[in-house]
A = this chain, B = another copy of it.
């Protein structure tokens, strides 16, 4: 076992050097990750092969913990490995490297858990996993897809080991400081003091104003270097920008929108740098291309064929993959079921039931009783017209003879048939079905190619995209191999088991042995079966400690999709952590670790249940590992909460001054002051009771304070939750605390909306300010990019209004928000914003349009007809609650039997008046003819009846009685009378009829109008 840090490092380096990696060195800049070393960022670009391994001390100021957290620190050591192109078996190489340092996979729970890596500052992203060792993330494993905004071809495999965590696991160490560095010194001896000091520097000392200047200066120097065509010097300054950004971030000096702007600047540099590097290598003629040969894996050879079945036999397709993300697995199974069925249909392959199954590592299609051959086919082939086929004597002509020959039938077998209005000779050809194996060989590549994923990736030169790399293909029909190739692989008759079980792979001589052979290793192919097993185990384990696990189907589904052979285990943690807010504990357990929390009578117990992949072996060790993980995470949260609670919530407000909301819109403090003012105005327009108003204003004052707390800086998802928690701890009223929490609701689709009136007012004010201000400075979202989350803000606003069924007018509300942004007239000290009136007006108009468009989508998503939605939004979109109600009502109306008649009558009135540029004045006395008079009488009654604003039924109740009268009117009256006054009076009458629909729906948008 590699007992010390330096042994671990040298052993892993030696391992990768043996596998052709260049041994490289940490970079001489402060970087956040090994990826930022040019040996990765630049070398993954372009076509040249590259393999490298190096250590990288990775500086992440925001992760610093003064050395107090067991495994989180401001600087940790990554061992970075890059394999370009994909060697075909990178996961296996990686696992072997772990074995080389003494980690026995059989005694641990080693898992590849979806984690798609992204470095927004570098315009880089990839697809891959965290590797978990007994619940502890020890490695990031990524197929690099883009860097500097450029697509990578070939794709690189990036393996990033977290060396401290590996050693902690190997030694069962409770703190990183305790792991040995060499025989004399511990890791803590060498690094703990630095960790403490740098933590203080990061959080307390670093000069924010200076850092902002430095960022600009470094950016400028990077640009200068790029202008001179210098790649590396430019990149160095980009790295300095990035580190400076990280420092600003750890000082809490970067707001959400400012963050997006700074990322954007860095990404721009990254793109130009990457482009320049590519051009440079191109100009050099890609000198390393010839270094590829030694990296190529040996091509797989196809297994020998077996005996095709003589009759119906089961067919099996197993697509072996690297660990699929949960969502993709579900999606792939659905598609496979459908596509397989179609494929068999189209290819005349008779079959029994089709079962689609899957685990993270395999997609399986099982077809019962698949016929040995296609069903035979009778084809009728058309020949020449009868006239031309036979001479006058009825004897076959040369044309007929030729046709018969080409169709492969005797001329005597030709028959006559009427086709397309003429008579032709036809040949009936009996096509015997091809063997199923042949058919499938041709069709299976198309089946796989037809699968679509949420996020696809490339990995090798075959040009294929898939959710994760395909590593083996198994296709058997009875005993016969169905040969095909896809994604650079040949199908075979081998399957693979759990990675650490013996045997790791085996060949099947008959498809019948497949399921049983997998079950021997505990692998359950059916997700439902896995869920059931997990449920049972979870129940048993929770009951053993007198508790239970609350239903959480989505967590259960996720966990079920993460393993092939589930085994649940229970871990414990220190009772003292239960003092942490419940949301924090649950959030850590579920979101981070996919653990099931155990509770009793609504209170958490100091236990959790994790589910490993595999059986009983080493289960105790796996449990201890998972406990260590949760301990570290809870310690982190406890550290934050404890520090945060030392001061009242209100005292965090000044820190918001440092947090830039957006450069043009001032700090987060300025924003929160605007929200406070706006809340006051909304409290008036929403008619809040005095006590509610007071609550709303106090909550508005405090609503953003938790953004400056350590817990929220670390886990942004806890914003509002911690605000509520800390507000209560600071002696605020329960109502204020609740409003603070609620103002973030709804946080995503399907989330609750605020229940309290203060919470609603505050939630609206916050979103109105966000929308008005960012639109006001011209930062509306583009088609694909919405860096400031304005879509979410708009949707939240609408969902609150609709959910609370609150009458509201968007336009004046936006205007109120806008007023607070313009400096001038009244002294709006501290508004922070500097927005010109002109830009604001333009912005508010486009914001209103943006809101209406979102409203339409929202209503469409509720299942309403497109025309219905258009009709109501056009008429009363400014009041979303009304529009939503009206949409439902109108939807009901248009389904009623007399609707076409009603609409027809209304349309007659509307169409004829549509061209009028003005509203004419009706003079009832001048209505001479009876039809007009009759219509007027009914109209007047309708107008006098009290209707609910925007109500469709009320409109219909008013208009329906007019339908016959309208029809009579048009039958008897010539609207366009020669006499102008007469004409105007008649038009005026109709305009009054049409006006009944105003503020309800624009019926002209409906189908059938």
Contacting residue for A25 out of B14, B57, B185, B200, CB 8 A: B57
Most buried by B among A17, A204, A284, A294: A17
A28-B28, A31-B28, A213-B217 known; A185 and B291 CB under 8 Å? yes
Interfacial chain B residues near A26, Cβ < 8 Å = 25-26, 28
A288 contacts the other chain (CB 8 A):
yes
**In the bound complex, do residue B230 and residue A205 qualify as a contact, i.e. CB atoms below 8 Å apart?**
yes
* Distance (whole angstroms) from the CB of A741 to the closest CB of chain B: 37
Which residue of chain B has the shortest Cβ distance to A5 in the bound complex?
Answer: B23
Segment with Cβ contacts to B, from A218-226, A574-582, A831-839: A218-226
A778 contacts the other chain (CB 8 A):
no
**In the bound complex, do residue A10 and residue B9 qualify as a contact, i.e. CB atoms below 8 Å apart?**
no
A225 to B205, CA, bound (A): 7
A220 to B25, CA, bound (A): 31
A231 to B288, CA, bound (A): 44
Interfacial chain B residues near A31, Cβ < 8 Å = 28
**In the bound complex, do residue B231 and residue A197 qualify as a contact, i.e. CB atoms below 8 Å apart?**
yes
Which residue of chain B has the shortest Cβ distance to A58 in the bound complex?
Answer: B28
Segment with Cβ contacts to B, from A187-195, A321-329, A338-346, A941-949: A187-195
A233 contacts the other chain (CB 8 A):
yes
**In the bound complex, do residue A28 and residue B10 qualify as a contact, i.e. CB atoms below 8 Å apart?**
no
**In the bound complex, do residue B200 and residue A228 qualify as a contact, i.e. CB atoms below 8 Å apart?**
yes
* Distance (whole angstroms) from the CB of A998 to the closest CB of chain B: 65
Interfacial chain B residues near A207, Cβ < 8 Å = 220-221, 224
A13 contacts the other chain (CB 8 A):
yes
Interfacial chain B residues near A6, Cβ < 8 Å = 17, 22-23
Interfacial chain B residues near A190, Cβ < 8 Å = 22, 24
For the residues of A in contact with B, the DSSP-based class is helix
A29 to B236, CA, bound (A): 11
**In the bound complex, do residue B198 and residue A232 qualify as a contact, i.e. CB atoms below 8 Å apart?**
yes
A148 to B231, CA, bound (A): 36
Interfacial chain B residues near A198, Cβ < 8 Å = 232-233
Interfacial chain B residues near A217, Cβ < 8 Å = 210, 213-214
Interfacial chain B residues near A232, Cβ < 8 Å = 193-194, 197-198
Interfacial chain B residues near A189, Cβ < 8 Å = 287-288
Q: How many residues on A have C-beta within 8 angstroms of the other chain's C-beta atoms?
A: 55
* Distance (whole angstroms) from the CB of A39 to the closest CB of chain B: 8
**In the bound complex, do residue A193 and residue B280 qualify as a contact, i.e. CB atoms below 8 Å apart?**
yes
A190-B22, A213-B217, A217-B210 known; A205 and B228 CB under 8 Å? yes
**In the bound complex, do residue A205 and residue B185 qualify as a contact, i.e. CB atoms below 8 Å apart?**
no
A630 contacts the other chain (CB 8 A):
no
Contacting residue for A23 out of B182, B200, B206, B280, CB 8 A: B182
Interfacial chain B residues near A221, Cβ < 8 Å = 206-207, 210
**In the bound complex, do residue B210 and residue A230 qualify as a contact, i.e. CB atoms below 8 Å apart?**
no
Interfacial chain B residues near A28, Cβ < 8 Å = 26-31, 57, 59
A20 contacts the other chain (CB 8 A):
yes
> Contact residues of A with B, CB < 8 Å?
6, 9-10, 13-14, 17, 20, 22-31, 55, 57, 59, 181-182, 184-185, 189-190, 193-194, 197-198, 200-201, 204-207, 210, 213-214, 217, 220-221, 224-225, 228, 230-233, 280, 284, 287-288, 291, 294
Besides A22-B184, A193-B280, 8 more A-B contacts (Cβ < 8 Å) are: A9-B23, A10-B13, A23-B182, A28-B28, A197-B233, A201-B225, A207-B220, A210-B220
A-B contact pairs, 11 of them (CB 8 A): A6-B17, A25-B57, A28-B31, A185-B291, A193-B280, A194-B232, A198-B232, A200-B230, A205-B224, A205-B233, A207-B220
